[in-house]
Amino acid sequence: MAKTILIVDDSSSLRVLVKLALVRAGYAVIEAGDGKAGLAQLEQAPKVHLIVSDVNMPTMDGITFVSQLKQQLKHKFTPVIMLTTENQDAKIQQARAAGAKAWLTKPFDPAQLLDAVSRLVLP
């Protein structure tokens, strides 16, 4: 059975690109347009093995999303990769403090994303 990954990003075109790379690698993918919608998706999904999230989004930004996610017992250990245009050390440290495990910048290299995913999703 394929591992499920949640993509949380307000850019539908970016979600399509990330989804394409992940689906081609054999992962199942669900999507959300912001952190609030991401939390709602997680309530409905039976099991999410990893999350790829943007930082800058309307309604709920990625760092707040990760912080709230990690407060839930069910998702406390779900790995999160931040995929964003941000590259400031302060933002990276905020995301890591919230619980993010990796940081990739846009535009992204699909091979680099898949490498990070494969290191964080247990077989």
pLDDT at 54: 96
The architecture in CATH of the region 4-120 reads 3-Layer(aba) Sandwich (3.40)
Q: Domain residues of the chain, as ranges? A: 4-120
**H-run or E-run covering 1:** none
pLDDT at 45: 85
**Residue 113 in tokens:** 């994303």
pLDDT at 91: 92
pLDDT at 122: 77
What is the SS3 assignment for 16-70?
HHHHHHHHHCCCEEEEECCHHHHHHHHHHCCCCCEEEECCCCCCCCHHHHHHHHH
Cα 3 from chain centre: 14
Per-residue pLDDT of the chain (123 residues; tens, 9 = 90+): 799 999 999 999 999 999 999 999 999 999 999 999 999 999 998 899 999 999 999 999 999 999 999 999 999 999 999 999 988 999 999 999 999 999 999 989 999 999 999 999 977
The packing angle between helices 62-70 and 89-98, to 10°, is 20
